[in-house]
Structure 1
Amino acid sequence: MKRRLLATAAALLLIGGVAGTAAADAPAGQPVRPAAASVEVPSGVSAGVAVFDRQTGTFTEQLNVSTRFRSASIVKVLMALDYLWNRGPGYVVPPSDRAWLEPMLRSSKDSAADTYWSDNGGTAIITRMVSRLGLKDTAVPPTGYEGFWGYTALSARDTVTIYRYLLDSAPAPVRDFVMGNLRQSTRCASDRFDQHFGVAGAFQKPWAVKQGWAGSSYEQGTCGTPGTATTNATGTAGQAPAAAADVDLTRPALHSTGTVGANDRSIVAVLTLHPVGTSYGKAYTDIGRLTRSLNVPGATRPAGWWYGTWSDHVNVRPDPSTGNAPITQLPAGVEVLVGCQAKGQVVNVPPYTNEWWAYLPQYNGWISNIYINSPDNKMPDVKDC
């Protein structure tokens, strides 16, 4: 039977268009528009964006570059730099420290950041790094929240400054350690959130990313195997220096930062806030659309078609059937890149029945077309596998 669009999924519009061009995505069947050097911000989203082309030494995108956002886990890059600052001349990181530093950078492990924050002066870490790197907008968490490292204030332009230091000024062992770990960002974060949104979803490798997320409306992460979520609740409390009073601590935050292209050609900083109550899947989709609209020199965009999904806990399978255990689960209602489609096991989700499956190259797995926002069982514009 043909499957109609679910009313509950109507807000997630079908977005199509073959990637591989430097263009914002267009509706299925319509020409892809050429890239414009202007940020397309989804309705209701507040954003600070900067894209810096290291080859030409110029910005290709700038939007609210000095606006302060709570950093969430982006501040973990500053913690890693603080740790490495005085470790010369060899900058050797012993195995015991790699055991917490690498998961903090690759899978955003919060407990590692908690310990480093509490053991190394808390807000003093930020004060030190602001002075060392000449950051203009970065500030310690506000009074009363000194133990919350994720409440550190950060801007898009300061994020670019941090990456420029790493790539152009930091000792080679520091650059190689930090950037090497960011290149190995895991899809599933330590708290089971799918963290390959924004830069990691919009562009093909090579990239290096550090992501951040914070918000009470974000449901429990479901990525990968079961685990225990952690919070940014611990750290060292105490008297803090002047803090940013203009940082929104209420709206859910989702940030994507890093480098894109050969030789880390472009530095990308996308900091976003979403309306209170926004689900993780909706925020994930919105930051993806925003990031795909950017002019990012050196970037290669993945081939495929962007489609919305419906339902929560949708299983991504290793083949087009339900016979094998799922690889992971999608954030509820998230938009996904479909590479092709094929017939497989018939799936029944009353009142719907469908034998077509969508291949998701960014997950190297399959979901039933029954969960794709398309008016027909077979997506009209997607090629067969």
Structure 2
Amino acid sequence: MLGRKSASPLPRHGAVGVAAAALSVLLVGCAPSAVATFPDQQSASETRAKPTGAPAAATASVDQQADARRNPLGVAVLDRATGEVAHGRLAQQPMYSASLSKVIVAVELLERHRVTPQDRFALRRALGPSDDEAMNALWDRYGGSSLITAAADRMKLQQTRPPEEPGRWGDTVTSARDIAAVYQYLLAQMPAADRDFVLDALHAAPSRAADGVNQEFGLMAVDAQAVKSGWMCCQKGTVWVHSAGVVDSERRYVVALLSAQPSSVGYGKAIEDLTEASRTAVTRLR
């Protein structure tokens, strides 16, 4: 079973077809990441660094590239050292979350401080290997759509709302702006143990997801540190491909990239475009 994320999942590894072939060529040779060690969060009393303009430069470059490629893409970049936040032109465009909803749910559940060891195992599976069955279990056990409503309220998310069909967590609506805000909440407001639990699970994500898909695209393909990939097709005739997370070991920068292209474009082209956008953003921040 492929879970309740999408009507048409990314082709499994080894499947025949143009999209699978393109994905294989693009992502071949990637290895699983090692577990990260993240420093304690910045104290509120610490003096922020002077603004650099890097987030604005990154979002402007990504927007320009997306326009040239005719790729509707939302981008948001946060510099936690300076407090700068930059939103691209489509940063507040509502999009289906695909597996990015797993990060939203993980933060909400951990903030309730009632998760069991079994829940933590399921969360690791949902965040790292992107296991849809693990997400299904958590979704059903803890109220499904109400998790998204509670998370949006807790983190003051603006575009995030539950799926119209309660069982389809991949149809949760969100935006690049909101996903960046989720990571900011995770890094700045959660207890260190819970924060590191999520970041380490993301950082240790294997190249191959639980369903056999190569998920090392977007920010994961450019050596980012703690990233969640998302993919889904073909709701509303669209292929949704996302990448969001912490891009450096000092956990200074957060980048969220959400894309929506016509399903006729296919996964191969959509992933190529997202990975190029990721490379552009990260280059501007380094």
> TM-score band, normalised by the shorter chain?
0.7 to 0.9
| Partners of 1:118 and 1:197 in 2: CA distance | 29
Matches within 5 A, 1:369-384: none
> SS where residue 250 of structure 2 aligns?
helix
| Partners of 1:296 and 1:60 in 2: CA distance | 16
User: Does the CA-based 8 Å contact 1:107-1:186 persist in structure 2?
Assistant: yes
Deviation for aligned residue 1:86: 2.2
> SS where residue 293 of structure 1 aligns?
helix
Look up the match of 1:371: none
Deviation for aligned residue 1:46: 1.1
Q: Which amino acid aligns with 1:181?
A: A
TM-score, with structure 1 as normaliser: 0.56
> SS where residue 273 of structure 1 aligns?
strand
Look up the match of 1:358: none
> SS where residue 158 of structure 2 aligns?
coil
Q: Does 1:38 align with 2:58?
A: no
Matches within 5 A, 1:287-326: 287-294=274-281, 298-299=285-286
User: Does the CA-based 8 Å contact 2:73-2:257 persist in structure 1?
Assistant: yes
Q: Which amino acid aligns with 2:103?
A: V
Deviation string, structure 1 residues 175-232 (Cα, Å, up to 9, x no partner): 0111111111111011111111111113x35x1101110014xxxxxxxxxxxxxxxx
User: Does the CA-based 8 Å contact 1:37-1:295 persist in structure 2?
Assistant: no
Q: Does 1:80 align with 2:129?
A: no
TM-score, with structure 2 as normaliser: 0.74
| Partners of 1:298 and 1:64 in 2: CA distance | 20
Q: Does 1:151 align with 2:171?
A: yes
| Partners of 1:194 and 1:181 in 2: CA distance | 17
Look up the match of 1:265: 252
Look up the match of 1:382: none
| Partners of 2:214 and 2:185 in 1: CA distance | 28
Look up the match of 1:136: 158
Matches within 5 A, 1:195-214: 195-202=215-222, 204-205=223-224, 207-214=225-232
Look up the match of 1:338: none
Q: Which amino acid aligns with 1:287?
A: L
Structure with greater strand share of residues: 1
Going from structure 1 to structure 2, the CA distance change for 1:78 and 1:35 (only over 3 Å counts) comes to closer
Look up the match of 1:192: 212
Structure with greater helix share of residues: 2
Larger-Rg structure: 1
Q: Which amino acid aligns with 1:176?
A: D
| Partners of 2:104 and 2:143 in 1: CA distance | 13
> SS where residue 208 of structure 2 aligns?
coil
Deviation string, structure 1 residues 7-54 (Cα, Å, up to 9, x no partner): x9xxx9xxxxxxxxxxxxxxxxxxxxx989421115342111111111
Look up the match of 1:23: none
| Partners of 1:35 and 1:43 in 2: CA distance | 17
Q: Does 1:69 align with 2:95?
A: yes
> RCO greater where, 1 or 2, for CA within 8 Å and sep 6 or more?
2
Look up the match of 1:178: 198
User: Does the CA-based 8 Å contact 1:260-1:298 persist in structure 2?
Assistant: no
Look up the match of 1:322: none
Q: Which 5+ residue runs of structure 1 have no aligned equivalent?
A: 1-7, 13-33, 217-247, 300-385
Look up the match of 2:44: none
Give the total of aligned pairs: 230
